[in-house]
Structure 1
Amino acid sequence: MTKTILITGCSSGLGKLTARHFAEKGWNVVATMRRPDPELANAYPARILVAALDVGDPASIEAAIEAGIARFGGLDAVVNNAGITMVSIFEATPADAIRQIFETNVFGMVNVIQAAVPHLRRRGGGTVVNVGSGVGIAAMPLLSVYSASKQAVEGLSESLSYELSSQNIRVRLVQPGAMRSTNFTTTGMAASQAAPVPESYRPYFDHMLQSMINYPFASTEEQSVVEAIHAAATDPTDRLRYQVGPDVEEYARLRWSTSEDAYRAGMHRLTGHTAWRDMAK
């Protein structure tokens, strides 16, 4: 039986590549986005259904799921890929921007999972793949709100991995490292919501932003993340986390295989904080 997967955030980048990858592997794909682009289905018109879905709108989520079931007969897996971020000083980050990040990255994911679970259960079980981030393991400066949202995804995914196993539904968490193709400054955020940098933070902000630009790790390739998502969706074991990228692997090592002091020292060094402290003396 050909399996069907619904993927959020397919308008560009990782979501679009993931939709095409699953279609290439013989899956039926419900490729969703807020503003549907029918061209995504051109390469595999029999396997890809492009559907409107706003993770903040439960009615649109249910409509996309029902459209996929009507087209392909059922739902076997979901990939929660939609997400936004923002580089900012927390003190100056607008409350509306903080809420928007959480509404998309956390509550949007919650909406999709709650809508999909009854359909997966009727299918006899299935898989939920949540796309997290390396900052779900190790928080980064200038990414406080994004880090908080992805650490919420970390906790949600682990808890659900136990809870939903009772319904024969597996939960997977893919944790990509930094991808150079990602616009980390205002991905998905309106320009009007960009946080101004307070003058008291300006030297620190400029230094840390340059440290992000001069990131000490090779970029995580989008295709590697796509392949990890596919592996997560098809893995029959009890594995939860799939880390992708040299930075995430190092952050995970520091977090889980060293002492708290060693972790903090390593993160200070890798994020540029050690250099900042030396300059500020």
Structure 2
Amino acid sequence: MQTILITGTSSGYGLETARHFLDKGWNVIATMRRPDAGLFPASPKLRLLPLDVTNDESIAATVAAAGPIDVLVNNAGIGLVGAFEATPMAHVRKVFATNTFGVMAMCQAVIPQMRERRSGVIVNVTSSVTLAAMPLAAAYTASKQAIEGFTGSLAPELGYFDIRAKLVEPGYAPTTRFAQNTDVRIEDLIPPAYAGFATPIFEAFGRPAMTTKETDVAEAVWDAVHDTSGRLQFPGGPDAVALYEARNG
């Protein structure tokens, strides 16, 4: 039975993806900074491990404790919304530390065992902002675009060793806690000069024509894991699918 390690499983897409693979009979290693067994159904196939993807020692300890990993899903991420002019660089660096460098560090920690076995799948979860950039999210968009390029380069590099690298691009889900884990209020990053621009954008967020459910993303991850073609991108959710199709014809 195959084993999947998923980062950022305390809520949202990561939590639902872990539940989805558990339901399918996989061995699931669900990681988060502070493991909470109450989030999951009791299962002998579930292991909870602490993980901070911005900490090299935490990554090394978690990968060592996990044992053989057949599939790595890099889902852990943080959001950041605001006018870039008003966004402190400390917040920008924090977003990149998790969304970009954390993903890269996890890949680097797991690739050696996959290379030695000449098998494995890495799924990097980005965002639909990589399909159509979202205003007032410049730093977040940049952090996710970096992983798009990273994965596109990694895929043929790892393909030489029969390891598949894939991208899952979730759409907008109102139920996710986007931007709540950067310890900054959105209001503080919208100067008065930007109010006229920002107000209609935030109002549109409140009434999206199409929204993504956590189950949409879990299914996209499932599809990506099982895809043996050269396909790289897997949009998750109807809004992401629409953007993907518009861009790719």
TM range (shorter): over 0.9
Equivalence map 1:183-222=2 (5 Å):
183-184=177-178, 186-191=179-184, 195-215=188-208, 217-222=209-214
Which residue of the partner structure matches residue 50 of structure 1?
48
Which residue of the partner structure matches residue 62 of structure 1?
60
The yes-or-no answer on 1:140 pairing with 2:134 is yes
Q: How far 1:36 sits from its partner (Å)?
A: 1.3
Which residue of the partner structure matches residue 274 of structure 1?
none
Contact 2:125/2:169 (<8 A) preserved: yes
Q: How far 1:254 sits from its partner (Å)?
A: 3.3
Q: How far 1:16 sits from its partner (Å)?
A: 1.4
Q: Which has the higher contact order (CA 8 A, sep 6+)?
A: 2
Contact 2:119/2:162 (<8 A) preserved: yes
Q: How far 1:107 sits from its partner (Å)?
A: 0.3
In structure 1, how many angstroms separate the alpha carbons of the residues matched to 2:40 and 2:199? 42
| Offset from partner CA, 1:29-84 (integer Å, 9 cap, x none) | 1110011113345521x111100110001221121111111xxxx21110000011
Flag the 1:202–1:41 CA change in 2: closer, same or farther, 3 A. closer
**TM-score normalised over the length of structure 2:** 0.94
Mind listing any 5+ residue stretches in structure 1 that lack a counterpart?
258-281
Mind listing any 5+ residue stretches in structure 2 that lack a counterpart?
none
Equivalence map 1:57-206=2 (5 Å):
57-69=55-67, 74-184=68-178, 186-191=179-184, 195-206=188-199
Contact 2:120/2:163 (<8 A) preserved: yes
Aligned partner letter, 2:4: I
Which residue of the partner structure matches residue 11 of structure 1?
10
Secondary structure at 2:204's aligned position in 1?
Answer: helix
| Offset from partner CA, 1:134-165 (integer Å, 9 cap, x none) | 10111011111111111111111111111111
| Offset from partner CA, 1:239-276 (integer Å, 9 cap, x none) | 2111122322332233333xxxxxxxxxxxxxxxxxxx
Secondary structure at 1:238's aligned position in 2?
Answer: coil
Aligned residues: 249
RMSD of aligned Cα (Å): 1.7
Secondary structure at 2:172's aligned position in 1?
Answer: coil
Which residue of the partner structure matches residue 39 of structure 1?
38
Contact 2:7/2:73 (<8 A) preserved: yes
In structure 1, how many angstroms separate the alpha carbons of the residues matched to 2:100 and 2:190? 26
Which residue of the partner structure matches residue 22 of structure 1?
21
